[in-house]
Chains A and B, each alone.
Chain A
């Protein structure tokens, strides 16, 4: 091989190296993000099986379109509302929340107004004050009808015959970042309300004065996490709270002091990111969970020992 040939080989090798380096530099990029960029909630989705004291025993799929609300009648019947009305009252419109009184009259929140379906007689409409009304929960006792309005961030207290409602604004106020704002009436007639911003359950007298509260903001199983949790709750016959959450989707029972009693359904029993798990409890302690992603009402009973 002559020296000229060797020189040309050297020339081509160096040129190739320079061009290759240029191409690499232009096209090189980070292939993977580091460990600190990973996001996983798997640790919190795992629940100790010993904590799960309930099991799913049944499920029902009422024909009211997309399900959105449920309630239990005094005689233990399940009433479900959806985009096509209420079971037994088809075609009344989209229902956002439901309650039934001792006589069987149904009180339905219809996003921005209340419709009452008496056992006998015609439907009655109660307007809700304010342009922002978005009704998310309703509860009724012998004297009052309480309506949670997430849009106006308040509770409206109606008399049994409707009329001008009294506005309850919380103590100091209800923090409602998204449309999840639930309430229920305790066995003593006092009002329990979720204050979803601070993840609190607050107990009020009927005039709106605060009696007590408890809260626990945490991603762990003992607390409530994220924005607006618990999204829904219902009271057990013994006064305990059945709570449903979004984000980390789970249903639990908390004692009156807020401590965790047990888990009804763990996150792996629901589809990811399902929201709007309305809950109800009958006199026997059976728990009804409205599952919008499966469009079913799922029934849970305490496991037999």
Chain B
């Protein structure tokens, strides 16, 4: 972040710090980190998320190190005479599912799907949202009207129904000449489509007020192009709210994936997904509680961690917005 943007960061932040430490030579990043460090809850959440990311990336290694079978290794010998799966044991700490697949192994691999959908989906919707929001807020007029109405239209789409419809219609042969195939890609696409207007609206509002600020005028007086103003002057100042919003969008998206998979239109089996596991577990909850409890706990903890981290980021980046 450039030195100039210090002056446009919420100036109270700098003042507060001045009062506090008496040392002006710290960058905004340092300021942010100092404040976040004091937020234990956010730090623990951050630690948990880092842990999840490591697990997701190293899933095969983790599963191997724990001596568990792969996530789609079926073994019907691990079901009883009634076809009910066996519960937690030393060999299978989270028990097995009705196919005799190891639940712990599947929960670990499910982390991949959750994070992929959560992070990639959010990244895409954030990029689209920021671009559209900046254009609308910066150019105003017809551009703004058109883009804002587009956002309204997209926001009015019942997105869970769209997801259900798309996934159902495109489930076997795919849609649009095979371009839309069910599975991870489609889920991410639906999620990005559904959530970018939220980002765009926020960005648009911020840009609208920011483009009138003195530093933008100064830049314009120096002959800077629109592109330069947007990307070099305004965008850096949007970083904080965008990070906060994105961090809150991630858990929403993870839940959305779980919901779609729960409804049977998300991730295709045998790929492990928490939502799908919870769905499959619900009819047999009375005989196999572990099949629902462990993926459920993974989902709850992950979503909670992202939400708490998001709150922490918000506090650290915008100390004015006391919550």
A and B interact: no
**Residues of B near any A CB (own CB < 8 A):** none
